[in-house]
Amino acid sequence: KQEVTQIPAALSVPEGENLVLNCSFTDSAIYNLQWFRQDPGKGLTSLLLIQSSQREQTSGRLNASLDKSSGRSTLYIAASQPGDSATYLCAVQGGSEKLVFGKGTKLTVNP
Amino acid sequence: DTGVSQDPRHKITKRGQNVTFRCDPISEHNRLYWYRQTLGQGPEFLTYFQNEAQLEKSRLLSDRFSAERPKGSFSTLEIQRTEQGDSAMYLCASSRDLNYGYTFGSGTRLTVV
């Protein structure tokens, strides 16, 4: 059974800092991995999708890497801003259509 | 592309009542998914449709839950005889295929009192 773990559970940083969020998964036989952002009481916004054959994806100040063999992904946020404050969720898609999510990392960026 | 729409945004119901939620996926997406999220947890898979066919159901989907997607367009999720444990955010997502990832709606927050 696939399990996804995100560390840390919560993170508080000053504005402008670069930061890394971690995601690990137990079964390396994945089809893709997706990072989402969730604001309080809202739905999920897709940030980056990495196919299993890819090593990384970039969008603006965000960079996500994937090491399938070790079961790890990282989300790097450069020059953090207060507007980046949210919960970040990692999800993997294996042989079936469903996504398996971690519990998320709650990020607070202080002005 | 107007995104995935969910209705209602919030629903408060008394224990024992039936509730129905609606999801309108992105028009060209043939895959539609329902997830449930409780406080402090990641979303958990409930069920999946490809066009009008319901292809996978989680064991979380008890007999009180039923989902439909008539004509492969919008979908409804009905919960009968609601219980307090059903209180959660119900999220709908759609996808074109596995290469494009998921697009989620804003969710329906259910509170059972």
What DSSP assignment string belongs to A81-98? -GGG-EEEEEEEE-SSS-
Task: Please compute Rg for chain B using Cα positions.
Answer: 13
Q: Characterise B85 by phi-psi region: left (phi > 0), alpha (psi -120 to 50), beta (else).
A: alpha
Instruction: Please give the pLDDT value at position A66.
Output: 97
**Residue pLDDT, tens place only, B49-89:** 999 999 999 988 889 999 999 988 999 999 999 999 999 99
Query: A46 vs chain B: nearest CA distance in angstroms?
Result: 7
pLDDT in tens, chain A (111 residues): 899 999 999 999 999 999 999 999 999 999 999 999 999 989 999 999 999 999 999 999 999 999 999 999 999 999 999 999 999 999 999 878 889 999 999 999 999
Whether residue B111 is predicted with pLDDT greater than 90 in this model: the reply is: yes
Q: How far is residue B18's CA from residue B28's CA, in Å, rounded to a whole number?
A: 31
Q: What share of chain A is helix, strand, coil (3-state, %, to 5)?
A: 5, 60, 40
pLDDT category, B99, cuts 50, 70, 90?
A: confident
**What's the rounded mean pLDDT across residues B26-32?**
93
Whether residue B106 is predicted with pLDDT greater than 70 in this model: the reply is: yes
Q: Which of A34, A96, A104 sits opposite B102 (nearest CB)?
A: A34
Mean pLDDT estimate for chain B = 94
- Identify the contact set of chain A against chain B, taking CB-CB distances under 8 A: 4, 31-32, 34, 36, 41-46, 49, 51, 89, 91, 93, 96-104
Query: A80 vs chain B: nearest CA distance in angstroms?
Result: 23
- Contact (CB, 8 A) for B39 and B63: no
Cβ-Cβ contacts under 8 Å, A34 against chain B: 101-102
Instruction: Please give the pLDDT value at position B1.
Output: 53
